[in-house]
Every structure is written in C-alpha cells, then in structure tokens.
Structure 1
C-alpha cells in the first residue's frame, strides 16, 4: 500500500495516508520510512515526503540501522539532496556509511559535504580511498574523471605517503591505483613518496604482461609512466631503465632515458 502511494509521486496522496494510517508502533514507522528512502521516485518529491514524515514524527522514532540500504539510496541520481534533507532535519544517521557508499557509487557530493561538515577519521578516509581505487563500478584501467577527482581529493586530505597497504595481490595501495586508475597515480607523488616502491621489478613485470603488451591499454600506461618521469621525485632513471630492459620492454625503458 505505501509503495503504491509513494510510486504515484503525488505528495497529497502520501500526506493523506500519513495522517490517516493507524501506525501500530515505531518499528512500523521505521519500515515505511526506510521504504520511502529506498524508493526510486524523483528526489524533490522524496524530499517533500521526508519533510512530511519528520514533521509528524520525532526523528528518534524513525532512527533506523540500514547499512544495506545506504548503498541502494546513494545509487540514485541526485540522492545527495535527500541525504542533505535528512541532515538539515537533524535526522540521526551514520555519515561515515553515507561517505563510503557515496564514494563507491561515484557521487562526489557526499565526500565534499561530509568532510566539510562532519568529523571524519583518517581510517574512514583511507577506507574510502581503497574503495574508490578498487571499485568495480568504474571498469578496468579507468579514466573516469570523477573517480580521479575523488582520489585526488582524498590524497590531499590525508596527506599520505604511498605506504598505505593494498588489499589485492599488490603490497601497496599506490600500486593498485597505478593499475586500476593510471591517470590518478601521479597524485601520490609528494615529498613523502617512498621511491623504493618504484623499483619493484615484479610489479612492473605484472603491468607489462597485462597492460603494456596490450594495444588497448598501452598508451594509457605509457602516459602514467611518463608522469613518473616528469614528477619531482628523485628517481634513479638508470635503475628504472634497467628494469624495463630486463623485461624486454625497450620502448618503455626509453621513457627513462635522459
């Protein structure tokens, strides 16, 4: 019944049912409120319905633990405005989960707003960075502009070096970034970057076999290697050149020739 009324996208119908429905207890209110939040109606109507709900009931009566639903909510276009409506109404919510799920769903507004208006620990920001770099939502060897922006934003906030541990077969999150989002790897190259990671021949062998020998990806990774050369890092060019000569990649080795 509630879903049918919500789906009509008529606020008056929703308000009529809200004012006349015999709610049995707070749990029933929570279930219906969550159904509203997870519906795929236009965001402006959802905001109005949320306002009507919160005007009638105290937000504590509607407080729900719905981590599985946040991912669904943040998938919708313009869902950020619904989140902002909840914040404006002082609705009790887990802003960390909204940040993480918003990042996974390529919604940069969550990251910007939450980091500017809430206290977020480095641990949560590192989780967000890991999720963005390793997200399946962006596809392989991504050049997605929003994904690159999110990585840059988080790296600048964290002021990290490259020693954040990876969660895949690679040792470091930087290596995962170079593989998954090559254009974003350059944002790791700060004064704190440990250049020893660049001399990991096993890693470059993996990149060579999987990407540099594939004409669909070669130019993307050559550009990322060129970013290494053009960085301000104190790189041993001869050592980098020797690595790719050993891997029988003379064209790549040439990048690191003076």
Structure 2
C-alpha cells in the first residue's frame, strides 16, 4: 500500500510539473516542430525534383518524340515552351533556334514587338504613321517594321497583302510577328491589318475614335472577316545592317 501511494504522488508531481511549463519552453518546442516540418518539406521537394530529372533522362524515344511534337505545336501558336509558366522545355536551346529562326531574326522580331507594344493606347488617325500623329492600321505596321526589312514596305493594307516578297501563312502556322489581314468594308481586297502576338492575340489600330489595342483573333467578328496572313520578317526579308540614324519615335 505504501508503494502504491508513493507511485501516485510521483505521478501527480510529474503531471503538475509538465502542466506548469513556462511559455518560453513551449515556444521553443513549437519552434523546433516548425523547423522540423520545414526540413521535411524541403527534403520532399528535393526528392521530387530529382525523381523528375531521372524520369526525363530515362524517357522512352516515343515519350521524347511526343514532347517534342507538343513543343513544336506551341511554337506554331507563338508560345516558347519553358517561358510561359509551363515549367518544362522539351526543346533544347539550339533546337529551339533551328525551329524558330536565327538568333538575329528572333532578336529583331522582339525589337519590333517592343515598338508595337509601346504604341498601345495611342489614338487611331487615318494616314498617321508616327506616335505624334497617331496611327492607322498600315501606318502602325510601317512604323514598326520599316527599319528591319530590306525593301520599302507598302503603305496600305491591300498593298501589304499583295506584296510577293512576303510569304503567305496558313492560320494553323501563325507565328509572332505575322501580319493578319481582314476584309471589313470591302469584300475583294483586305482593308485592315494587324500584327500577331501569339496565343490568338494581335495588336491593331482599329478605327477612328478608338486607340491602338490588343484584340482576340478567335472571336466571331474577326474570324468572319479574316482574309489571310503574311510573314513579313524572315531570313530573306531581314535587313542585314540596320540604320542608326532613324529613331523609333518622333
């Protein structure tokens, strides 16, 4: 009986001691638990990354072929794999350049897109071809591409559409920088032009009263009036030496 009471007293004392732990000791315990969880999650993430790398390295030729075809389909829509939040890039950098063009061509195209994006919000102006004047649709094309092609660009939408120095492009093969043509008021010749940005979007100077904007190519209106596309920048049309005396804006 005496032993029983001694065990009971020791149990009560240990419980009292545990329940009376100081706030600082409880904080230290919680901090240790958080650090342990962070370490465990980090190790799990590292394991997933290593596993993904091993799976990619050991992928079968069929899987690699499928991934490459998917990457090429993205390129044709104006998307560069690995640069759009997809988290993967089945094409290595050298192959990516072979499929999309030379480094010089790609760099030039990005300069053109930068020029175009800088004009968003400026007013439409019939006959305009500078930021000071405003732009009409073909004036915007002329302003953006004029320094980078090796011939004088036509100044109307129909003239651009019929220029034989530019290759016709099917709607399934559109790439960033291609010219898109529409028949809005005419039925036989295009009277409107925009520049494709990828992902079914294009930049345009629409009409009087509106500003330069980005529009959706896959909407019913544009699909109904779509007349075709032309590739203005290519290895054969790219000017080798760009003049430095012509500024991008006036």
TM-score bucket of the superposed structures, by smaller chain:
under 0.3
State TM-score, norm by structure 2: 0.27
Query: Bigger relative contact order, structure 1 or 2, given CA contacts below 8 A and separation 6+?
Result: 2
- Tell me which protein shows more strand as a share of its residues: 2
Query: Rg larger in 1 or in 2?
Result: 2
